[in-house]
Amino acid sequence: MKKYLFIFLLSITALFSYEELTIDNFNEKIKGKNVIIDFYAPWCPPCKVLANNLEDFEIQKPDNVQIFKVNIDNELFLAKKYGVRKLPTLIYFKDGKPLKQDVGVKTVEELLEVSKNEFK
């Protein structure tokens, strides 16, 4: 039982390890940067898997890439604005403009490959 509780707590903390964006700070935070934004919901099991993969990706990611999160339960306007219909969804932004959208769980290797290709 303790093992399951520990794993559950680790998965929950992974959801909150990146800065959360809101409608108020979204444009300011992504302007002039290479950004990956994870659109997620706390109740979504695949989102928790992706959150763990993002934690591993953080160690290997290029220095010029930042990761942020958007909780769609709190920021429905942003989800609608960027056409997020399924979870989890990653959107890659360069200089404030969306480049690519990925739906579903991505591995660390896939995240590295997309980062290399999109953020040249």
Choosing from 14, 37, 47, 54, the catalytic residue is 47
Token pair for 99? 């480049």
Find out whether 37 and 30 touch, Cβ atoms under 8 Å: yes
DSSP bridge partners of 98:
93
Residue 44: active-site member: yes
Q: How many angstroms separate the CA atoms of 49 and 106, rounded? A: 9
Token pair for 44? 């979504």
Residue 47: active-site member: yes
Please give the positions annotated as active site. 44, 47
